[in-house]
Amino acid sequence: MTRVLNDPVDFADQAVDGLVDVYARYLTRTYGGVIRSGSTRPGKVAVVVGGGSGHYPAFAGWVGPGLADAAVVGNIFSSPSTQQILSVARAVHDGAGVLLSYGNYAGDVLNFSLAEERLRAEGIPAVSIAVTDDVSSASLDERSRRRGVAGDLVVFKIAGAAAEAGLDLAEVAELAERANAATFSFGVAFAGCTLPGERRPLFTVPAGQMGVGLGVHGEPGVAEEPVEPAADLAARLVDRLLAERPASAQNRVAVLLNGLGATKYEELFLLWNDVRRLLQRAGLEIVQPEVGELITSLDMAGVSLTLTWLDAQLEDHWTAPADTPALRRGGGIATRPRTPRAETGPEQARRDSAGPTSRALAGRLVGCLESVAARLHESESDLGALDAIAGDGDHGRGMTTGCDAALAAARQAVESGAGLTGALAAAGDAWADKAGGTSGALWGNGLHAAALALDESSLEATGPGSVPVARQAVASVAAARDLVQTFGKAQRRDKTLLDALIPFVEELERRVDDGDSLAGAWSAAAAAAVEEAEATAALSPRIGRSRVLAERSKGHPDPGATSLALVLSEAGRHLA
């Protein structure tokens, strides 16, 4: 149980503050996470790792020479936002590109992929690699669907050492991919963990039983079995991993024996004896094993075993020196304090280039966001109730949080001289950063994409109200739709905001093509979005209770499409 905290909302942030204070020699705080305090060899590929909090030493405990340049730190068991990842990656990029690596969970995939795309758009070479080592979470045929667990450490260590050795981004990425492909983990859980502020555990395992293959956030395992002697447990773990020994594997392996939090050191060292014997009996050479708490889940009880089948190059990087709060190999690595950098992000450039028309439009965006925010606050509890029927009930809260943050950011951007692109981009970033979840990431990054699709110089050349502005609006919402489709990995009628967004963009484009004013076209398109959202509401085969829901909610069981239609309608009223 998690018992030491102040306000649960601040738990992850306060934990990082404390970590950085204790390890100031290694770590410096930056927005979104932590970066190395020490200098980095100029022209080195930056290795940025990350994920949710609650897994220390993953991920911030692994920042330092020879390992990661930075760690992005999300909330407890939650992906960091795209904006956190961007902030951290920009802070450590030094001209040679950025390797992003993280465990394979939907939220992390979404945000790290979005960040990768945006870094590239900014001219920063970036590659993102999801670690997929948990053999319980999918079959070997579906390797890319496996979750990432303790194998993170091996992949990050090898990538970090490769970057330190001066390899270029493609080479570092190739090694990280190779390390991931060679890495397999299997674990058991004896008891669940309790989220800060909660009184009951996130999940439970019956007394005397163990959840075989249970995930570090309580994701379903493969079986429940009685707790067994350590020798049998060792055999269970080793046998399962040896069963997936790659055909090409040599006999040298990196080995991690990981405790999840409440399964303690003596237990791990004791288990190690049997694990080692079995691996050696299988003819394997163990290379620099790590036995301890590597990826925890708060106070969860359980253990996992990780094997990485080494080739000569992987072994060189696995055994290379590293000097971080939680992992140290070899002697120290000399560094000097880092020189702080002036901020020269894309936002600054956008602010400097905005003309008067664009600035006027930015002011209207703020007014529009004010109306939308007010409307969302009115509807927050309805959206929450709608979401609660089939989801976790937080959709209303997520929308108001995101929109409030967007409004505040747009206001601040306008005050500091931004035009429409800058204000909308800032609004989108703030939304994604604060709202959280898939919906927040897609909303915010969609708005950001919409901003980038605008052409500031054309806005200035023609003035507001002209056809080109309407055409730019079409291009802008189409860009948002494309982003949501690409990264949301959903189709129309999958009960997502796409159910309303796709018909909206189609109708807007048709009306503008027909010569309608932007205000008129937008109203008609918003009406189409509402209609379509309602029409698809009762049709989805994906949610069992959708017919009941369709009646109770007057045809709006899809909270994502509903809230989008609501926002589009309100924005239309503001345009008129």
Is 296 an interacting residue with respect to a second copy (CB under 8 A)?
yes
Q: Considering only the C-alpha atoms of the chain, give the largest distance between any 2 of them, rounded to a whole number of Å.
A: 78
Q: Verify binding: residue 272, a second copy, rule CB under 8 A.
A: yes
* Residue-by-residue DSSP string for 485-538: HHHH---TTSSSTHHHHHHHHHHHHHHHHTT--HHHHHHHHHHHHHHHHHHHHT
Q: Does residue 16 contact residue 73 with C-beta atoms inside 8 Å?
A: yes
Exactly one of 217, 317, 395, 448 is catalytic; name it.
Answer: 217
From 262, 383, 409, 423, residue interacting with a second copy (rule: CB under 8 A):
262
> Quick one: CA dihedral 412, 416, 420, 424, positive or negative?
negative
Q: Output 264 or 545, the one with its CB closest to a second copy.
A: 264
The rounded distance, in Å, linking the Cα atoms of 529 and 503 is: 6
Distances (CA, A) of 39 to 43, 65, 247, 257, 333: 12, 9, 41, 32, 11
Q: Site residues for a second copy, window 36-75 (CB under 8 A)?
A: 53-54, 56-57, 61
Q: How many CB atoms lie within 10 A of CB 29?
A: 18
Alpha-carbon distance of 437 to 77, in angstroms, equals 11
- Report helix, strand or coil for 89: helix
- 266 lines the binding site for a second copy (CB under 8 A): yes
Nearer to a second copy, 98 or 322 (CB): 322
Tell the smallest beta-carbon distance from residue 59 to a second copy (Å). 12
- Of 64-72, 229-237, 476-484, 519-527: span binding a second copy (CB under 8 A): 229-237
Based on the shown chain and the rule CB under 8 A, indicate whether residue 12 belongs to the binding site for a second copy.
yes
Q: Is 238 in the site for a second copy (CB under 8 A)?
A: no
Q: Which stretch binds a second copy (CB under 8 A): 269-277, 431-439, 514-522, 564-572?
A: 269-277
- Per-residue contact flags (x/-) with a second copy for residues 297 to 336, judged by CB under 8 A: -xx-x-x------------------------x-xxx----
Residue 162 in tokens: 């490769």
| Shortest Å, Cβ 178 to a second copy | 26
Nearer to a second copy, 51 or 446 (CB): 51
For the chain, give the number of residues: 576
Min. distance of Cβ 149 from a second copy in angstroms? 17
Judged by CB under 8 A, which of 91, 238, 291, 549 binds a second copy? Answer: 291
Helix (H) or strand (E) holding 387: helix 356-390
Residue 311 structure tokens? 């080739």
What's 224's DSSP letter? E
If you count DSSP H runs as helices and E runs as strands, how many of each does the chain have, helices first? 19, 14
DSSP 263-284: S-HHHHHHHHHHHHHHHHHTTP
Place of tokens 């502005």: 469
Nearest approach, Cβ of 277 to a second copy (angstroms)? 10
Least distance in angstroms from the C-beta of 212 to a second copy: 14
Q: Which is nearer to a second copy, 207 or 312 (CB)?
A: 207
**217: annotated active-site residue:** yes
Among 123, 229, 283, 340, interactor with a second copy by CB under 8 A: 229
Taking CB under 8 A as the binding criterion, the range among 27-35, 42-50, 271-279, 456-464 that sits at the site for a second copy is 271-279
- Residue from 165, 169, 202, 231 touching a second copy (CB under 8 A): that is 231
Q: Which of 322, 293, 288, 324 is nearest to 307 (CA)?
A: 288
Query: Based on CB atoms, which residue is closest to a second copy, 157 or 276?
Result: 276
Buried b (16+ CB within 10 A) or exposed e, 461-484: eeeeeeeebbbbbbebbbbbbebb
141 vs 266, beta carbon nearer a second copy: 266
With binding defined as CB under 8 A, does residue 273 bind a second copy?
A: yes
Q: Which of 9, 22, 121, 548 binds a second copy (CB under 8 A)?
A: 22
Interface positions with a second copy (CB under 8 A): 1-6, 11-12, 14-19, 21-22, 53-54, 56-57, 61, 76, 190-191, 210, 227, 229-231, 233, 261-274, 276, 289, 291, 293, 296, 298-299, 301, 303, 328, 330-332
Q: Could you list the active site residues?
A: 217
